[in-house]
Amino acid sequence: MKQFLYKHFLFDKSYGLMGYFWLIALALFSVPIVIAIHDFPKWIAIVLLLIYAKFYRDSYYDDKFQIIKVLTQLCIVGIISDTAGNGTLYIFMAWQLGSMTISTKKFYWFTGLYLLITVSSLTFSLSLNNGLSIYDYLLALFFAIGSPFAARSLKNTYRRRSQLSQNNARLETVIKQAERSRIAKDLHDTLGQSFSIITLKAELAEKLMSKDQAKASQELQDIAMTSRENLNVVRQIVADLNKQTIAEAMVIEEKNLKAASIFMQSQNENISSNWPDNVQNTLAGIIKESVTNIIRYSKANLAIFSFNQSKDSYLLEIKDNGTGIQTNRDNSFGIKGMQQSVRAMGGTINLQNNNGTVINISLPKED
């Protein structure tokens, strides 16, 4: 039974409540339309509207009868609207056409039929002199023509945003896999070879212990030296893993801001991709600390990160539209940490209130 309902009446869960909302809206729009009909029995109008509602639900899914269903809907809209003298269904139909998941060719074909019926109906009503003024006619024509294309544009925007989110998720996976491969290669090329040498030298030292203790001692010293070198390599790998680029920080912190219902806006971020590693690592840490402060204290709903560079400096401005930095927090541990990081690189950091908190960081370029 449940499968039958989902196949013919209910909406797929991926659509959420949107489909049901518009069906309820259609029902509310239909009440004054049915009341205004006097040329034929109201039960016929109700049946036609129920057919329209069923085909509206089916418009969320592509099937081989789609053309027939859309044509039927257009006919129902024409009959009901002209009889009731109410054009609400025309606008509803326009947004339905624009929201359907169909090819561009089908969209233009359906929209052409819709406009033909709509414009003909409006022109006929104007010619009958039934109270429709020229202004009303032009206004209705504007919405009739513009609505399908506005709805189509809105759907494409949502689709591109969804695709961008999916692409970002895929890109994160690719980046993580590339980092794993790089670490595996580093371990194989450095530690793998070194441990092989240590094993050989240990076996050789064992054989020399009873024959030539001096050579055995030398081999053991070589093993100790190689082990120390390997320890330094491991420390360097760990240090490299702890480094973070600006792009990585922005991806992570955008998620954190989104979870806190704060919109992130980034300006000119692409120029930072070629900045030196030490600059990126320092600014990534500042971005992380700033986002933490914005989420905890600012009560903002917008955070803007602006990247720039001059002849001598790398520049970053972080601002939000919150309550501003509190005077009793200007020497807090997080802010102190940012100041120390910037000054360690010979840069400057400035914090001020300007319709929210504004942080300006300048790091010098190396000669």
Which pLDDT band, with edges at 50, 70 and 90, does 150 fall under?
very high
Is the model's pLDDT at 117 over the cut of 80? yes
DSSP 219-248: HHHHHHHHHHHHHHHHHHHHHHHH---HHH
Q: Beta 302-309 vs 357-364: how paired, if at all?
A: unpaired
Residue 124: pLDDT band with limits 50, 70, 90? confident
Interval 314-336 mean pLDDT: 77
Per-residue pLDDT tens digits for 246-274 = 988 998 899 899 999 999 999 999 999 88
Quote the pLDDT of residue 329: 52
pLDDT at 123: 80
Confidence band of 294 (pLDDT split at 50, 70, 90): very high
Using a pLDDT cut of 70, give the percent of the chain over it.
90
- The amino acid at residue 136 is D
For residue 2, pLDDT over 70 is answered with no
What's the pLDDT tens digit per position in 58-94?
877 767 788 888 888 888 888 887 777 777 888 888 8
Contact 97, 77 (CB under 8 A): no
The pLDDT score that the predictor gives to residue 149 is 92
Look-up of token digits 């933490």: 292
Q: How buried is residue 14: exposed, middle or buried, by Cβ count under 10 Å (0-12/13-18/19+)?
A: exposed
Across 161-177, average pLDDT: 76
Do the bridges between strand 302-309 and strand 348-353 make them parallel or antiparallel, or are there none, so unpaired?
unpaired
Confidence of residue 239 (pLDDT cuts 50, 70, 90): low
Q: Is the dihedral of CA 54, 59, 60, 62 positive or negative?
A: positive
Specify the amino acid at residue 362: S
Instruction: With beta carbons less than 8 A apart as the criterion, state whether 303 and 319 touch.
Output: yes
**Domain ranges, ordered by start, for the chain:** 2-132, 171-242, 246-364
**Which of 239, 246, 216 is CA-nearest to residue 309?**
246
Strands of the chain (E only): list them.
Answer: 263-267, 302-309, 313-320, 348-353, 357-364
Model confidence at 36, pLDDT cuts 50, 70, 90, reads confident
Q: 171-242 in CATH: which number?
A: 1.20.5.1930
Write the pLDDT tens digit of every residue in 193-214.
Answer: 777 777 777 777 777 777 777 7
Token pair recorded at residue 101: 């998941």
β-bridge partners, 351: 359
The whole-number pLDDT of residue 284 equals 93
Residue 4 reports pLDDT greater than 80: no
In terms of pLDDT, which residue wins out, 262 or 8?
262
Which residue(s) pair with 302 in the sheet? 263
Residue indicated by tokens 């600006």: 246
Q: List the one residue out of 29, 28, 9 whose CA is nearest residue 19.
A: 9
Pairing assessment for the beta strands 357-364 and 313-320 based on DSSP bridges: antiparallel
Q: Give me the long-range contacts of 347-356 (CB less than 8 A, separation at least 24).
A: 347/313, 349/286, 351/325, 352/325, 353/324, 353/325, 354/319, 354/324, 355/321, 355/324, 356/298, 356/300, 356/319, 356/320, 356/321, 356/322, 356/323, 356/324
- pLDDT for residue 256: 93
**Per-range mean pLDDT, top range of 159-168, 216-225, 263-272:** 263-272
pLDDT of residue 103: 83
Read off the pLDDT of residues 333-363 as tens digits, 9 standing for 90 and up: 678 889 999 999 999 999 998 888 999 999 9
Mean pLDDT rounded to a whole number for the chain: 82
Query: Does 232 score more than 70 pLDDT?
Result: yes
Indicate whether 290 pLDDT > 90.
yes
Q: How far is residue 139's CA from residue 153's CA, in Å, rounded to a whole number?
A: 21
Q: What is the pLDDT of residue 14?
A: 64
Q: Please say whether the beta carbons of 285 and 321 come within 8 A.
A: no
Q: Which CATH class is domain 246-364?
A: alpha beta
pLDDT score, position 266: 93
pLDDT of residue 240: 64
CA angle centred on 86, ends 82 and 87, rounded to 5°: 85
End-to-end CA distance of the chain: 74
Rounded CA-CA distance 215/306 in Å is: 63
**Residue 8 reports pLDDT greater than 80:** no
